[in-house]
């Protein structure tokens, strides 16, 4: 499902104009990105959590040049679904 399909579905189910729903969806995504960029997780009860995972420094191989390189430690965004959400999908 794409963002446009989500906007269309929410608009159809709520009766709110698609442009207003689109603005809300964009605002939500910006709020989540902003919070994660500051290092703060986002918890949505009954849905899941947007969190930051830390990846340690590690060695990797470039197989085309047969050389070893180091990938520095970094953070990545992740989503952890709530138990209720997981059970509903099963």
The tens digit of pLDDT for each residue in 9-23 reads: 999 999 999 999 999
Q: Is the same domain home to 32 and 50?
A: no
CATH code, domain with 81: 4.10.520.10
Give the count of domains, the chain.
2
Q: Is the same domain home to 58 and 24?
A: no
pLDDT confidence band for 40 (50 / 70 / 90): very high
Q: Is the same domain home to 48 and 90?
A: yes
DSSP character at residue 34: H
pLDDT of residue 81: 96
Q: Is the same domain home to 67 and 87?
A: yes
pTM comes to 0.80
Q: Is the same domain home to 50 and 88?
A: yes
**Encoded tokens for 62:** 């470039």
Domain extent at residue 21: 1-40
């Amino acid at each position: 499902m794409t963002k446009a399909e989500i906007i269309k579905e929410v608009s159809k189910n709520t009766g709110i104009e698609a442009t207003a729903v689109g603005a809300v969806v964009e605002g939500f995504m910006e709020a989540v990105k902003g919070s994660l960029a500051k290092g703060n997780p986002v918890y949505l009860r009954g849905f899941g959590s947007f969190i930051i995972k830390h990846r340690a420094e590690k060695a990797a191989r470039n197989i085309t040049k047969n050389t070893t390189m180091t990938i520095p430690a970094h953070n990545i965004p992740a989503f952890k679904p709530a138990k209720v959400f997981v059970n509903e999908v099963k």
